[in-house]
């Protein structure tokens, strides 16, 4: 048998972004890359479903959706969509379990059009009532279908066993909790957590860093955070559980799903976090 040989991997240097701190506490990373005529940006926000009220589970996800779909104070939803579609640009928002994000992508020639829209979506979403109702309907539709997939079931039930059913890391939206969510809840949730000193903005692509910094200062420099606001810290999970074997019956499938696990002590700030993520990818494919 012939032994396979592989060429040496080329040397790779991790690029070093420029870090900018605005007076309002917002952290910005800039990385010039002129390989393609594009500009991309991601704002990471310290917000998530772990902070939503238990009686209104689903609020964070709906807020993350309607920040984008519900328009802004100066642009109706359809007008915003039309502007972006006409130039092939993207602006999206999302709120997950422990963090939220806003993302934009555009050709470099259109950055002066898209960046102000991106900033306003982040800072001044309008949360149009009809888009709130649409988002609620989609969440409820997902709830009604969530037992169709065995992988979804085992993941959901495993977290309840591991963390406890009442844990913010195991709670799931229900039809009645989504029904309780009102537009004002979205406004309040956004106002409570989306502040400049709770945002890390990364911008990369085809631009001059000095000019981009000036543009970002114009878009975000006057954004003020409440004097008493402190970025939240995700709650510590209570995962002290006795060893157990648990079964969930689903008779309409011809396969079984098995999940094993235990609480770990790693956090995203742990030195070994990235190494463990890589190990997990190698051992289980993620």
Residue 169: pLDDT over 60: yes
Q: Is 27 exposed, middle or buried (0-12, 13-18, 19+ CB in 10 A)?
A: middle
User: What pLDDT does residue 281 have?
Assistant: 87
pLDDT tens-digit series, residues 64-76: 999 999 999 999 9
pLDDT tens-digit series, residues 247-274: 988 888 888 888 888 887 788 788 998 9
Tokens of 23: 């007076």
Give the Cα separation of 93 and 102 in Å (integer): 4
User: In whole angstroms, how far apart are CA 56 and each of 135, 141, 190, 235?
Assistant: 14, 17, 15, 18
List CB contacts of 127: < 8 A, sequence separation 6 or more: 66, 67, 70, 183, 186, 187, 190
Residue 284: pLDDT over 80: no
Tell me the backbone φ, ψ of residue 60, rounded to 5 degrees. Answer: -65, -45
pLDDT tens-digit series, residues 5-53: 888 888 888 889 999 999 999 999 999 999 999 999 999 999 999 999 9
CB 74 within 8 A of CB 123: no
CB 130 within 8 A of CB 100: no
Domain residue spans in the chain? 18-142+178-238
Query: What angle do the packed helices 129-145 and 59-69 form, to 10 degrees?
Result: 130
pLDDT > 70 in the chain, percent? 99
End-to-end alpha carbon distance in the chain: 32
User: What pLDDT does residue 79 have?
Assistant: 98
Mean of per-residue pLDDT scores for the chain: 94
CB 140 within 8 A of CB 178: yes
Which has the closest alpha carbon to 24: 190, 229, 197, 193?
197
Which has the closest alpha carbon to 202: 22, 40, 16?
40
Residue 286: pLDDT over 60: no
Which has the closest alpha carbon to 161: 219, 277, 242?
242
User: What pLDDT does residue 75 have?
Assistant: 98
- SS3 of residue 237 by DSSP: coil
User: What pLDDT does residue 285 have?
Assistant: 63
- SS3 of residue 29 by DSSP: strand
User: 């991309």: which residue's tokens?
Assistant: 40
User: What pLDDT does residue 12 have?
Assistant: 84
User: What pLDDT does residue 61 have?
Assistant: 98
pLDDT tens-digit series, residues 113-126: 999 999 999 999 99
User: What pLDDT does residue 118 have?
Assistant: 99
Residues comprising the chain, all counted? 286
pLDDT tens-digit series, residues 194-214: 999 999 999 999 999 999 999
User: What pLDDT does residue 109 have?
Assistant: 98
Is the CATH code 3.30.830.10 the one for domain 18-142+178-238? yes
Angle value at C-alpha 187, between 184 and 192, nearest 5 degrees: 125
Give the Cα separation of 220 and 209 in Å (integer): 16
Could you tell me the pLDDT band of residue 3, with boundaries at 50, 70 and 90?
confident
CB 19 within 8 A of CB 29: yes
Give the Cα separation of 175 and 48 in Å (integer): 20
Average pLDDT of the residues in 83-94:
98
Beta pairing class for 90-95 and 100-107: antiparallel
């Amino acid at each position: 048998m012939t032994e396979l040989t592989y060429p040496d991997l080329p040397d790779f240097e991790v690029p070093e972004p420029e870090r900018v701190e605005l007076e309002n506490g917002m952290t910005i990373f800039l990385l010039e890359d002129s390989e393609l005529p594009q500009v991309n940006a991601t704002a990471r926000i310290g917000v998530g479903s772990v902070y939503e009220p238990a009686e209104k589970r689903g609020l964070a996800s709906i807020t993350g959706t309607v920040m984008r779909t519900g328009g802004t104070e100066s642009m109706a939803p359809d007008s915003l969509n039309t502007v972006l579609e006409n130039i092939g640009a993207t602006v999206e928002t999302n709120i997950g379990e422990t963090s939220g994000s806003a993302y934009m992508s555009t050709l470099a020639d259109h950055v002066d059009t898209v960046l102000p829209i991106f900033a306003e979506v982040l800072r001044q979403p309008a949360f149009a009532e009809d888009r709130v109702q649409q988002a609620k309907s989609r969440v409820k539709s997902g709830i009604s279908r969530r037992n169709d997939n065995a992988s979804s079931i085992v993941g959901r039930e495993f977290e309840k066993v591991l963390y406890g059913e009442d844990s913010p890391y195991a709670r799931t939206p229900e039809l009645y909790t989504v029904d309780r969510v009102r537009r004002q809840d979205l406004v309040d949730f956004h106002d409570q957590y989306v502040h400049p000193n709770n945002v890390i903005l990364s911008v990369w692509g085809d631009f001059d860093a000095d000019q981009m910094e000036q543009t970002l200062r114009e878009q975000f420099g006057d954004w003020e955070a409440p004097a008493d606001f402190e970025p939240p810290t995700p709650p510590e999970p209570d995962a002290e559980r006795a060893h157990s074997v648990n079964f969930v019956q689903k008779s309409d499938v011809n396969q079984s799903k098995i999940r094993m696990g235990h609480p770990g002590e790693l956090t995203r700030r742990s030195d070994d976090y990235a190494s463990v993520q890589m190990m997990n990818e190698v051992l289980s494919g993620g």
